[in-house]
């Protein structure tokens, strides 16, 4: 609520001289009929009109206040917001090769930690379409671009090893081509691919460099993340007892093979950036950095429609003035 003409409240100052004049007049007295002896009138009860004689002045003051409020034009506003958003189309490209079973990312393996960080990244977005591509020796779209984040969460939760026949291979070029194919027809202002892998390209019919150039040509920016520590890392190896045929898991140290030079080149060819995550916390920080760099542009316009509310105050003020006039001419009329 607001007052369109707040300067009208200066009119309330008129109540000061009115009040002073009224009390000076009451103090002086205004009786016009005189009696030689008033002793016989002392025992008479005081009429109600005498007791309530100040009511007339009070009604007039309230009427002045109500009319002043009406002149100040009280208004009630209804605010409307018009929100326009230029979202970002993001394709998450996720390595699910067997090397992602390495245990250098705690509390679980690389794949499980990557799934957790992806869901945290998705939770920070609002107006962006996000999809998911999985790859090992080949690549396929697990989830197309969508605004249904709950559906995307379920797809991410369902990612596991054993979903591809060629799990021991890594086709980075094919993965980029698959993600780019989903993004190239997008009409959004910004098209982004986030590629996370712990290996080097050793499979597929297209090289990462050629795929990156093709993606960059259609306006796709690629951020690459190398996942894994340098040097040897603990890795679960399934062992088979040659005598009993029973299997058991044994932890062995294996070399971490990440081709960071290729990942850096992919990012450079598309205007993106390349990162290296050697633990879970570093991976979290990387996704936070990308989240800040690729924020959706949201524009908000506010419109306020004001509705006039002075009519009730105006009617109430004139009603009190009329009531005061009628009472003064009837019940509270003074004998001249």
CA distance 279 to 196: 13
Give me 61's structure tokens. Answer: 């003051």
Pair (111, 214) in one structural domain: yes
Assigned domain for 260 exists: yes
Torsion of CA 249, 251, 255, 259, to 10 degrees: 60
If one compares 133 and 240, the residue with the highest pLDDT of the two is 133
Report if residue 336 sits inside a domain.
no
- Nearest residue to 12 (alpha-carbon basis) of 59, 61, 54: 61
At residue 165, the pLDDT reads 65
Q: Are residues 281 and 308 in the same domain?
A: no
69 and 125 part of one domain: no
Number of domains present in the structure of the chain? 2
| Centroid of chain to Cα 322 | 54
Q: Token pair of 185, please?
A: 């027809």
d(CA 253, CA 327): 103
- If one compares 47 and 323, the residue with the highest pLDDT of the two is 323
Same-domain pairing of 289 and 308: no
What is the domain extent for residue 144? 88-295
Whether 38 is covered by a domain: the verdict is no
Verify that 215 and 324 share a domain, yes or no.
no
| Residues 50 and 142 both lie in one domain | no
Question: Is 187 part of any domain?
Answer: yes
pTM recorded for the entire structure: 0.65
The verdict on 309 and 269 lying in the same domain is no
Residue 34 lies in a domain: no
pLDDT of residue 60 exceeding 60, the answer is yes
The mean pLDDT value for 60-77 works out to 88
Partnered with residue 225 across adjacent β-strands are 196, 275
Is the confidence at residue 36, as pLDDT, over 80?
no
Those residues with Cβ within 8 angstroms of residue 25's Cβ, 6 or more apart along the chain or in another chain: none
Q: Are residue 51 and residue 138 in the same domain, yes or no? A: no
Q: What is the pLDDT of residues 189-237, one digit of tens each?
A: 789 999 999 989 999 899 999 999 999 999 999 999 999 998 899 998 8
Tell me, rounded to whole angstroms, the distance of Cα 94 from its chain centroid: 28
Q: How confident is the model at residue 44 (pLDDT cuts 50, 70, 90)?
A: low
pLDDT grade for 34, boundaries at 50, 70 and 90: low
Check whether residue 169 and residue 318 sit in a common domain.
Answer: no
Nearest by Cα to 299 from 87, 60, 154: 87
Given a cut of 80, is residue 30 above it in pLDDT? Answer: no
CATH of the domain at 258: 3.40.50.410
Pairing outcome for strands 129-135 and 88-95: parallel
Nearest to 133, CA basis, from 201, 181, 190, 184: 181
Confidence check: pLDDT of 250 > 60 = yes
One domain, residues 103 and 73: no
Tally Cβ neighbours within 10 Å of residue 209. 16
Is residue 149 domain-shared with residue 115, that is, in the same domain?
yes
- The predicted structure's pLDDT at residue 102: 94
Q: Which percentage of the chain shows pLDDT scores above 90?
A: 47
Question: How many other CB atoms sit within 10 Å of the CB of residue 145?
Answer: 20
Based on the domain organization, do 112 and 53 belong to the same domain? no
Residue with tokens 């009929």: 33
């Amino acid at each position: 609520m607001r007052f369109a003409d707040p300067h009208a409240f200066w009119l309330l100052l008129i109540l000061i001289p009115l009040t002073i004049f009224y009390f000076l007049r009451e103090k002086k007295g205004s009786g016009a009929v005189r009696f030689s002896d008033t002793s016989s009138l002392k025992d008479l009860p005081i009429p109600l009109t005498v007791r309530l004689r100040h009511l007339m002045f009070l009604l007039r003051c309230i009427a002045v206040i109500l009319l002043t409020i009406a002149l100040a034009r009280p208004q009630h506003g209804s605010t409307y917001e018009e929100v326009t958003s230029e979202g970002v189309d993001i394709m998450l490209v996720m390595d699910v090769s067997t090397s992602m079973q390495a245990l250098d990312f705690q509390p679980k393996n690389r794949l499980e930690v990557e799934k957790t960080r992806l869901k945290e990244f998705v939770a920070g977005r609002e107006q962006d379409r996000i999809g998911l591509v999985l790859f090992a020796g080949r690549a396929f779209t697990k989830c197309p671009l969508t605004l249904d984040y709950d559906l995307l969460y379920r797809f991410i939760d369902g990612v596991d090893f054993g979903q591809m026949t060629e799990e021991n291979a890594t086709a980075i070029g094919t993965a980029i081509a698959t993600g780019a194919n989903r993004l190239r027809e997008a009409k959004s202002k910004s098209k982004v691919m986030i590629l996370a892998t712990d290996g080097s390209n050793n499979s597929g019919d297209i090289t990462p460099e050629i795929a990156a150039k093709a993606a960059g040509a259609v306006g796709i920016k690629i951020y690459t993340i190398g996942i894994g520590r340098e040097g040897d890392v603990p890795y679960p190896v399934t062992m088979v007892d040659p005598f009993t045929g029973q299997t058991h898991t044994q932890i062995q140290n294996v070399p971490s093979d990440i081709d960071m030079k290729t990942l850096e080149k992919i990012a450079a060819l598309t205007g993106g950036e390349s990162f290296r995550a050697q633990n879970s916390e570093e991976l979290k920080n990387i996704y936070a950095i990308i989240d800040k760099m690729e924020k959706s542009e949201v524009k908000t316009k506010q419109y306020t429609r004001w509705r006039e509310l002075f009519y009730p105050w105006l009617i109430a003020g004139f009603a009190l003035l009329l009531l005061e006039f009628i009472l003064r001419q009837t019940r509270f009329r003074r004998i001249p």
